[in-house]
Amino acid sequence: MFQRNKNLFYGRRKGRRISLTNSKIFEHYSHKFYLQEEQIHKIKLNEHRKNILEIGFGNGDNLVHMSLNKPYDFFIGCDAYYNGCIKLLKQIVDKNINNVKIWPDDINLIMKKFKRNFFDLILILQPDPWQKKKHRRRRLIQQKFLDDISQILKNQGELIISTDHEEMKSWVLEQFHIRDDFKWMKNGYHYKNAKPEWIIDTKYTNKALKNNKVVNWFFFKKN
């Protein structure tokens, strides 16, 4: 079985130059909202109504939406794309959000730092498909990754994955087919009926819908 190397992140880390305003926001607020590795084990299990993790939040719009609508829940957003993290940080500051923390790096670096059974819900919206056969190992959803997810998700906790990519749809099914710690609750091969109303269309979902692609939704529950 493929073991993911600890520091193996293949996606883009940086994009355009960060604006002066955003650099200042980073300077002033990153210490408050960016999660430090050594803080993770100190986060209390039952301090909030629910603990929710979004992996690969992109520009963070859905995280902002969820955190504003669920003020009693605690959110951790993770994305290794530096510019996306700063965009999210700006929204957090502008909208006075206080129930979100950002992990601005590869999720695999911190999976083992969380308490076991910590999260009620984990979201992975539109993971990178890494289409070429030789790049499959770069995909986020691998057996080792699911082993870690299984540790940090509560029993009966939910994992929601969406993708508009056909190959990724099969990949997700293959990865879960061989596991007995997750139960496939329902699937949605029709976008409009499947997306929970408390999740908003992300940048990649909007792009897919504009191109008349079907967005597939998978709902798994940990046994």
Residues 66-94, buried b or exposed e (16+ Cβ, 10 A)? Answer: bbeebeebbbbbbbbbbbbbbbbbbbbee
Structure-block tokens of residue 147: 């082993």
Candidates 106, 120, 148, 164; binder of ligand SAM (CB under 6 A) is 106
CA 120, distance to chain mean position in Å, is 13
First-to-final CA distance of the chain: 22
Candidates 125, 149, 152, 168; binder of ligand SAM (CB under 6 A) is 125
Stretch that binds ligand SAM, among 23-31, 34-42, 198-206, 209-217 (CB under 6 A): 198-206
Q: Which of residues 5-44 bind ligand SAM (CB under 6 A)?
A: 9, 11
Q: Which residues contact 135 (CB under 8 A, 6 or more apart)?
A: 10
Query: Is 147 among the catalytic positions?
Result: no
Candidates 140, 153, 160, 168; binder of ligand SAM (CB under 6 A) is 140
- Phi, psi dihedral angles at 146 (to 5 degrees): -70, -30
From residue 63 to residue 92, the character string flagging contacts with ligand SAM as x (rule: CB under 6 A) and all else as - is ---------------xxxx--x--------
Interaction between residue 208 and ligand SAM (CB under 6 A)? no
| Binding stretches for ligand SAM (CB under 6 A) | 9, 11, 55-58, 78-81, 84, 106-108, 125-128, 140, 202-205
Enzyme catalytic residues: 128
